Amino acid sequence: MARWVARKYGTEHHEETIEFADFPLNLRRILSCFDEPFSGVVSTYFLSQFMARHVKVAISGDGADELFGSYFVASPGVPHGSL
């Protein structure tokens, strides 16, 4: 799908296949990148390494849950408008 969209709109498109062998070779570095929230760090690590070879800045949707309050722990203590 991404390849099709890139062709349709004439954008640059890069692909990379991550092999299982890449995981143990990078495990120590991946573990040093853990932070909150915890999920997705392995895939994000490989994606970030890949993107860094092609661009200086990338925008993702990460952080939207905290911004819009869909995590209970990131929700404000007092609901908006209740004061």
Helix (H) or strand (E) holding 65: helix 64-68
Give dist(CA 71, CA 81) in Å, integer: 19
Residue 32: per-residue pLDDT: 79
The per-residue pLDDT for range 36-82, each reduced to its tens digit, is 666 667 777 888 888 899 988 887 766 666 666 666 654 555 565 65
Residue 36: per-residue pLDDT: 66
3-state secondary structure of 2: helix
Whether residue 8 is predicted with pLDDT greater than 90 in this model: the reply is: yes
Residue 1: per-residue pLDDT: 84
- Helical spans, DSSP H, in the chain: 2-9, 22-32, 41-52, 64-68
Give dist(CA 34, CA 41) in Å, integer: 6
Whether residue 7 is predicted with pLDDT greater than 90 in this model: the reply is: yes
The residue that leads in pLDDT, 79 or 26, is: 26
